[in-house]
Structure 1
Amino acid sequence: MACSSCSTGTDGQPRGCKNNGTCGSDGCNKLTVFDWLSNMSLPSGERAFDCVEVRFKNSRKEFFRNTENLSLSIGDVVATQAQSGHDIGMVTLVGELVKVQMKRKKVDFKDEALPKVYRKASQSDIDKWQKCRDREEEIKKRAREMAIILKLQMKISDVEFQGDGSKATFYYTAEERVDFRQLIKDMAKAFSIRIEMRQIGYRQEAQRLGGIGSCGRELCCSTWLSDFRSVSTSAARYQQLSLNPQKLAGQCGKLKCCLNYELDTYLEALKDFPSQDTKLMTEKGIAFCQKTDIFKATLWFSYKDDPANWHTLSKEQVQEIRAKNKKKEKVASLEEYAIENYVVEEKVLFENVVGQDSLTRFDRPKRSRNSKNRNKNKNRNRNKKSGNAQTKSNSGNRGPANKSEGGKGQGGNRNRKRRNNNRNKNQNNTKQQPKNA
């Protein structure tokens, strides 16, 4: 829903048209209407329709009468009549299609009390309007803080300033009725403007704020869906969807509006199908319907005594068996009609074709690098300790061998010196004995 010139900048704002999603081509506006009569000229003597459609912040649109006969086109910024003062908006539709939209919205285009378009907005009007728009986020934050201090069970979701800056409308959601009289007094004193509180539903909140849905596209309620039909869980049952609130609920917390898109097709297809309460009478026993596949036009039945074994039957075969049962005739068994027999216990829920170990393999917590380094250091210390123990054992084995060789170190040298001295003394004594004789 964006124009070709809207490219995202570093701050998240559009870089191309610089209009923050409200470009003159009306391509990225919310709830935009395509003017397929824009290239057609009016017949001679016909006057153009004097009402225009003007869009304000988010999805708020109103109709105004062009009493001054201004030459307006889609994308023009105009100053319009308000309850007090004036407001600034952008023209989104002109011509005969405005009459169609007014009939669709049940607005009387002949009513003389319709608000008027004053003029095209001047540069000073646009600058003042832009300053008011820049204050909205700060004021919304302060208003939420005031509501929390007063302990009000409400959520302020959006703030919209009037074009002249004299009034601000606060949109909020709440489960029950909220007494916000003191809140209005505090905000009027703090912001020095007139305050209007407007309660909206959760779907309207999602419509105003916008976002991306689970399908990857922008929310339907904020782009093109203008009416909110009630959605019930029966829509999911008819489409055979699992009743999982996390998958069926949208960003508004309610059931998704897209559940109603294909509901009529399913209801039309189910007209020719037997109901889920269908019972087939056979000689083996009573068979109950377990599952229905609308796309393949098949049904699964199982016996009352053997619910684990399912038998696949086509829609025509079931109708044939029911016709015989109405005549009080029983068929021999479902196996004669079954396309294939199906055993629930042998059903392959997941086939490992890629060699994956488990579907939850990414859910396991990752081990930190520090734990890995600790384990490596522990292994190194263990290796060092075992190496030191081996060296000590080897040194212990060498000790006795050295002692048997006569010791080692200084003790061994002393013993050798003593032996040499004794030998020298004995030799001297033997030499001196003959002289004395």
Structure 2
Amino acid sequence: MGCGSCSTGGGCAPAGCKSNGSCLTGGCGKMEVYDWLSNLDMPSNYKPFQVIEVKFKGARKEFFVNNDNIYLEIGELVAVEGPTGGYDIGHVSLTGELVRMQMKRRKTAIDQVTRKVYRKATEADVEKWKAAKAMEWETMHKARTLALDLRLSMKISDVDYQGDKTKATFFYTAEGRVDFRELIKKMAETFRIRIEMRQIGMRQEAGRLGGIGSCGRELCCSTWLTNFKTVSTAAARYQNLSLNTLKLAGQCGKLKCCLNYELDTYLDALKDIPDRVDSLQTEVGVARHQKTDIFKKIMWFSYPNMEDWIPLKVDRVKEIMAMNKKGQKPNNLKEEAVEVATTTIIDKIPDYENVVGQDSLTRLDDKPKNKGNRNNRNNNQNRNRNNADRKEGAEKAERTDRPERVDKPEQRGPKPPQQSKNKPEVKKENAPGGQAQPKAQGGQPKVKAPAGQEQPNAEKPAGNKNNRNRNNRRKKPADKPKNE
């Protein structure tokens, strides 16, 4: 087969090569079918698997035949044959031998796959497909309005448009059968497309709508779960779960599908544990069964009027049950109790300096306390200020009959004699000329001092009210009356 122009000596090209026996290193290089270097390990008569898997909206996956051997990769948009004519747009999810394994798992024969792959989706196909998907939300709400007008006991949960905008599938849930013939007529007149009604269950509805489960992850039915198995309360009993419907039910209102995930493991572990062990007969009394640790294989028993539970190995419980059948009774079970290791909680010391306090769960509780201390401090200051003002007001009321006195260190001297308001007196001083000075306006006698001599016993006018208050606050100890 080879031309002998390369170092391999010829015979290196596989069957189907149209390069006339030449190789890439020394010939013409006319490889027209495929790069044979990538298929050296495959047999010469190998044919790729022609069936592919395409994924549509709502985790719907279907198989299609790739008769034209179009090279497709996972994630590409392709145009495939519709179920009732036309074409639909979807993403390639599986190709090659993996599709064969998936068909075996779903028990689908190759003869049952009849719909074809037309082409890779073009730009016009993608634009038309996006326009169809944009109409689904508005169409669903209009369909719900029409169903309410006809008083039909059904709930339209989702709408799926075909890629060519010629058909729409309406998914609904209902407790029983619904006569929606009149509804289809009105929807066909409104939307001008072909209508298909499909009833689904509560689990399928949750899978199509999606959501977040109690575990914090996306719902299994909307991501990877395709086959729904029946879930019963026996699965919860085998796993020692409390029969609380609020915790065991999912968003669909049915029992959670994840209850079946670990059921087989629990059933295997329960094979070694005896069933229907209600009590054990001992010489001290009857020990009642309280609980069982399935994976540690330890069973707890307790005597009446005693709070302590006695842990026993499963093998020892079987021996005691055999002894009770023979009429024998063991001694006190406390002597045969198993030591159960207690888990010690170690406080983890952070390896960084906590400056802000973000790792403290009570960091939000400290703020009201600080705020309260600050408020108490402010309240105490306001209370002290109010008490001072109240005391100052009392002092003002007592000093209404006498003039204000302001002492300065440089003007201290003998007290002037008090004068009554009704009969003002004129104070005689040694003024030049030997004449007494009359009393000035304001009720206080104004005496002139000789030039260059300081007036010994002069008082300043009282001033306005604000100045008096300010001076009283500064001179509180000195202004207290003597009566106090």
Secondary structure of residue in 1 paired with 2:290: strand
Residue 175 (structure 1) aligned with residue 175 (structure 2): yes
1:56-67 equivalences under 5 Å are 56-67=56-67
In structure 2, what is the Cα distance between the partners aligned to 1:192 and 1:418?
Answer: 117
8 Å contact 1:276–1:289 — kept in the other structure? no
Change (3 A) 1:249 1:376: farther
Map 1:18-167 onto structure 2 (within 5 A): 42-82=42-82, 83-111=84-112, 114-167=114-167
Matched with 2:450 is none
1:391-418: CA deviations, max 9, x gaps?
333345556899xx9998xx81433539
The Cα shift of 1:283 comes to 1.7
Alignment-derived partner of residue 241 in structure 1: 241
Shift of residue 363, structure 1, vs aligned partner: 12
CA distance in 1 between counterparts of 2:390 and 2:109 reads 101
Distance in 2 of aligned mates of 1:154 and 1:372 = 61
Structure-2 change in CA distance of 1:378 and 1:254 (3 Å) = farther
TM-score if structure 1 supplies the norm length? 0.70
User: Deviation per CA, 1:5-56, whole angstroms, max 9, x where unpaired?
Assistant: xxxxxxxxxxxxxxxxxxxxxxxxxxxxxxxxx9996532233333222222
| CA distance, structure 2, for counterparts of residue 282 and residue 92 of structure 1 | 64
8 Å Cα contact 2:129/2:164 also seen in 1: yes
Q: 1:373 to 1:255 in 2, by over 3 A?
A: farther
2:254 maps to: 254
Q: What residue number does 1:311 align with?
A: 310
What residue identity is the alignment partner of 2:261?
Answer: Y
Q: Quick one: which amino acid aligns to residue 196 of structure 1?
A: E
| 8 A Cα contact 2:292 2:298, kept in partner | yes
Which amino acid in 2 is paired with 1:293? D
Indicate how the Cα distance of structure 1 residues 143 and 40 shifts in structure 2: closer, same or farther if over 3 A, else same: farther
Aligned positions, number: 370
Give the whole-Å Cα distance in 2 for the aligned partners of 1:146 and 1:291: 56
The answer on 1:414 being equivalent to 2:432 is no
Offset of residue 123 of structure 1: 2.4
Shift of 1:322: 1.7
**Deviations 1:298-320, CA, capped at 9 Å, x for gaps:** 111112x3253321222232222
- Tell me: CA distance 1:63–1:123, structure 2 relative to 1, closer, same or farther (3 Å): same
Question: What secondary structure sits across from 2:335 in the alignment?
Answer: coil
- The answer to whether 1:338 aligns with 2:346 is no
Given the superposition, is the C-alpha separation of residues 340 and 64 from structure 1 closer, same or farther in structure 2, using an over 3 Å criterion? closer
In structure 2, do the counterparts of structure 1 residues 397 and 167 end up closer, same or farther at CA, with 3 Å as the change threshold? same
Residue identity opposite 1:118 in structure 2: Y
Shift of 1:159: 1.5
| Shift, 1:291, TM fit | 1.0
C-alpha distance 377-336 of structure 1, shift in aligned 2 (>3 A): closer
Separation of aligned partners in 2, 1:293 and 1:325: 23
Three-state SS of the structure 2 residue aligned to 1:185 is helix
Distance 1:375 1:196, change over 3 A: farther
Residues 201, 307 of structure 1: alpha-carbon distance in 2 compared, 3 angstrom cutoff: farther
Q: Is the contact between residue 235 and residue 260 of structure 1 (CA under 8 Å) also seen in structure 2? A: yes
Find the residue that maps to 1:132 and give its secondary structure.
helix
Higher Cα Rg, which structure:
2
Structure 2 unaligned residues grouped into runs of 5+: 1-37, 349-360, 404-414, 429-484
User: For structure 1, which segment, 219-228 or 386-395, has the greater mean C-alpha deviation from structure 2 after superposition?
Assistant: 386-395
Task: Tell me, in whole angstroms, the C-alpha distance in 1 between the residues paired with 2:70 and 2:64.
Answer: 12
Shift of 1:174: 2.7
Q: What is the percent sequence identity of the aligned residues?
A: 52
State the Cα distance separating 1:60 from its structure 2 match. 1.1
Indicate the SS of the match to 1:89. strand
Cα pair 1:282 1:331 within 8 Å, conserved: yes
Contact 2:269 2:295 (C-alpha < 8 Å) held by counterparts? no
The one-character-per-residue Cα deviations of 1:341-393 (angstroms, maximum 9, x if unpaired) are 9xxxxxxxxx9x89xxxxx98999x98xx999999998887666544433333
Shift in CA distance, 418/89, structure 1 to aligned 2, threshold 3 Å: closer
Distance 1:90 1:258 in 2: 28
How far 1:329 moved relative to its partner?
0.6
Distance 1:87 1:265 in 2: 43
For residues 242 and 400 of structure 1, do their structure 2 counterparts lie closer, same or farther at Cα, with a shift above 3 Å needed?
A: farther
Q: CA deviation at 1:280?
A: 0.4
Distance 1:101 1:79, change over 3 A: same
Residue 110 of structure 1 aligns to a residue whose secondary structure is helix
1:153 and 1:285 map into 2 onto residues whose CA distance is 62
- In 2, Cα distance between equivalents of 1:362 and 1:151: 55
Q: Pick 1 or 2: higher relative contact order, CA cutoff 8 A, min separation 6.
A: 1
Give the Å deviation of 1:265: 1.2
CA contact (8 A) 1:132 1:163 kept: yes
Instruction: Give the deviation of 1:232 after TM superposition.
Output: 1.8
Match of 1:414, SS state, is coil
SS in 2 for 1:283: coil
Q: Residue 22 of structure 1 aligns with which residue?
A: none
Q: What are the Cα deviations for residues 178-237 of structure 1, in whole angstroms up to 9, with x where unaligned?
A: 343343333322222222121212222232233333334333223322211111222222
Partner of 2:272: 272
Alignment of 1:313-332 (within 5 A): 313-332=312-331
Cα gap change, 1:249 to 1:401, in 2 (>3 Å): same
Aligned to 2:208: 208
Q: Is the 8 A contact 1:299 1:315 kept in 2?
A: yes
Contact 2:159–2:170 (Cα < 8 Å) also in 1: yes
Is the 1:293–1:299 contact (alpha carbons within 8 Å) kept by the matching residues of 2?
yes
